[in-house]
């Protein structure tokens, strides 16, 4: 049975509905990310799980128990926020002990648990420090330890890394994932950063205007985006308009070049327009554009991005970007040059809305 269940959750603030029929089941020990642009309702869903907001409709259950009539302090939930929300007048050990003290646990138990938590986040040596004496990354590790100390059933993290600089963000997200797996704690992680969500989640919920557009494993979300929104939001993508030529044979044209799709487009009629998606890392430069899944075009520009070179080419008025790995021995394509891009049929997705 699933551990955390959100059924038909809705939330309105006055006349504005910001969460619309949100459904999700999360397994025990699973790490799920809510991914979406600012304002799509991620924090609102998280706050409803924690009990800081009550849903306008729907139910939330944890381990089979409805949370409806439980106040936040009656729910067994740990939460970490974006801004460092440590108590500034308490040292690290007292911050981590806070939840246990409120719960009235015996002092010996609290001391042991604080020690255990500080060792988990590798900050044993900073127990006496105050928040202002620590870096942002260290403060967020303490916030994590404070949330975990009372052994919550569910851990909620609301963009915990977004105030940190890039290097720390990457190392801390990996640390969070490791700790989560070590404890086996059911976790919901909110982020607007697709790379963050793709790299550490068991599953991702891509949210769009208060709805879950797609729920799936990172590779499913990336390789098989269900909607135009997901395709655009997760990763860089070429959206290409194609004209249907022969629906029975899945033949279309891009510009004036014919391409065969792998997906059936049997429902379409000759002359219809279809949206196709192609990731820039799909395909590679070929000597010619022979075959059913190749396009030739004129290079518009080539940008050196470090590990990859992104080239934009014009195919009959459609600009398509593609990437190739940097190779110091090979000159990148130059503007004006004609190149051929070869890919496999499965890399060209049909986007249906
Ligand atoms: N207490 C509130 N009163 C009115 N509107 C709110 C309140 N909280 C959030 N909203 C609105 O709900 C929408 C979703 O907000 P939020 O859940 O914070 O989005 P996200 O976390 O995805 O950025 C936004 O349009 C926001 O302005
Ligand atoms: Mg938010």
User: pLDDT per residue over 31-68, tens digit each?
Assistant: 999 999 999 999 999 999 999 999 999 999 999 999 99
Give the model confidence (pLDDT) of 313-340 as tens digits: 999 999 999 999 999 898 889 999 999 9
The residue whose C-alpha atom lies closest to atom 7 belonging to ligand 1 is 13
Distance from residue 119's CA to the centre of ligand 2 (Å)? 30
pLDDT at 241: 93
* Percent of the chain whose predicted confidence (pLDDT) is above 90: 85
pLDDT exceeds 80 at position 84: no
- Percent of the chain at pLDDT above 70? 100
Put the strands of the sheet holding 211-216 in their side by side order: 77-80, 154-158, 186-191, 31-35, 203-208, 211-216
Q: Which atom of ligand 1 is nearest to the CA of 16?
A: 5
Looking at ligand 1, which atom is closest to the CA of residue 47? 17
88 alpha carbon to ligand 1 midpoint, in Å?
Answer: 27
For residue 53, which atom of ligand 1 is closest to its CA? 1
- Write the class of the CATH domain 4-233: alpha beta
Work out whether the CA dihedral 260, 261, 264, 270 comes out positive or negative.
negative
Q: Residue 235 in contact with residue 194, Cβ under 8 Å?
A: yes
Strand 273-278, strand 318-325: pairing:
unpaired
Distance 137 CA to ligand 2 centre (A): 19
Domain extents in the chain:
4-233, 238-351
* For ligand 1, mutation pick of 15, 19, 39, 213 (most atoms within 8 Å of CB): 39
Domain spanning 238-351 has what CATH number?
A: 2.40.50.100
- Residue 82: predicted pLDDT: 87
The alpha carbon of 36 and the centre of ligand 1 are apart by a number of angstroms equal to 13
Q: What is the pLDDT of residue 131?
A: 95
Q: In this model, does residue 292 exceed pLDDT 90?
A: no
Please answer whether residues 161 and 169 qualify as being in contact, where contact means their C-beta atoms are separated by less than 8 angstroms. yes
258: three-class secondary structure by DSSP:
strand
For residue 272, pLDDT beyond 90: yes
Atom of ligand 1 nearest to the CA of 44: 17
More confident call, 351 vs 301: 301
Considering every ligand atom, which ligand is closest to the CA of 47? 1
Taking the centre of ligand 1 as the mean of its atom positions, its distance from the CA of residue 38, in whole angstroms, is: 9
pTM of full prediction above 0.85: yes
| Ligand 2 centroid to residue 43 C-alpha, Å | 4
> Atom 16 of ligand 1 has which residue's CA nearest to it?
41
With a Cβ cut-off of 6 Å, ligand 1 is lined by: 13, 18, 36, 38-44
pLDDT, tens only, 172-224 = 999 999 999 999 999 999 999 999 999 999 999 999 999 999 999 999 999 88
Residue 22 has pLDDT above 80, yes or no: yes
Q: Assess contact for 238 and 280: CB atoms under 8 A.
A: yes
The residues pairing with 304 across neighbouring beta strands, listed in sequence order, are: 309
Concatenated DSSP letters of 21-66: EEEEEE-TT-EEEEE--TTSSHHHHHHHHHTSS--SEEEEEETTEE
**pLDDT the model gives residue 291:** 83
Tens of pLDDT, residue by residue over 223-258, are: 888 888 998 899 888 999 999 999 999 999 999 899
Write the pLDDT tens digit of every residue in 103-127. 999 999 999 999 999 999 999 999 9
| Locus of tokens 């940008």 | 303
SS (H, E, C) 51-115: CCCCCCEEEEEECCEECCCCCHHHCCEEEECCCCCCCCCCCHHHHHHHHHHHCCCCHHHHHHHHH
């Amino acid at each position: 049975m699933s551990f955390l269940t959100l059924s038909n959750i809705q939330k309105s603030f006055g006349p504005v509905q910001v969460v619309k029929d949100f459904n999700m089941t999360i397994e025990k020990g699973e790490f799920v990310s809510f991914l979406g642009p600012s304002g799509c309702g991620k924090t609102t869903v998280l706050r409803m799980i924690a009990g800081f907001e009550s849903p306008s409709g729907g139910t939330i259950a944890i381990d089979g128990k409805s949370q409806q009539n439980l106040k936040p302090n009656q729910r067994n939930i740990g939460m970490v926020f974006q801004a460092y929300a440590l108590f500034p007048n308490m040292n690290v050990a007292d911050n981590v002990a806070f939840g246990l003290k409120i719960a009235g646990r015996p002092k010996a138990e609290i001391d042991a648990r604080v020690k255990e938590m500080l060792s988990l986040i590798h900050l044993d040596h900073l127990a006496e420090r105050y928040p202002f004496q620590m870096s942002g990354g260290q403060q967020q590790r303490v916030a994590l330890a404070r949330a975990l100390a009372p052994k919550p059933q569910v851990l909620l993290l609301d963009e915990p890394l977004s105030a940190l600089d890039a290097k720390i963000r990457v190392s801390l997200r990996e640390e969070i994932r490791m700790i989560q797996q070590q404890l086996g704690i059911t976790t919901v992680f909110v982020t607007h950063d697709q790379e963050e969500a793709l790299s550490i989640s068991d599953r991702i919920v891509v949210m769009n205007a208060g709805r879950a557009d797609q729920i799936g494993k990172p590779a499913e979300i990336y390789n098989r985006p269900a909607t135009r929104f997901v395709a655009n939001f997760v990763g860089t993508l070429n959206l290409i308009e194609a004209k249907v030529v022969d629906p029975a044979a899945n033949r279309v044209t891009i510009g004036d070049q014919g391409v065969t799709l792998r997906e059936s487009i049997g429902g379409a009629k000759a002359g219809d327009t279809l949206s196709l998606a192609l990731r820039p890392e799909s395909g590679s430069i070929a000597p010619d554009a022979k075959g059913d899944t190749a396009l030739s075009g004129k290079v518009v520009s080539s940008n050196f991005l470090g590990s990859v070179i992104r080239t934009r080419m014009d195919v009959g008025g459609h600009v398509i970007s593609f990437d190739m790995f940097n190779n110091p021995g090979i000159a990148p394509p130059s503007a004006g040059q004609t190149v051929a891009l070869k890919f496999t049929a499965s890399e060209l997705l049909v986007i249906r809305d």
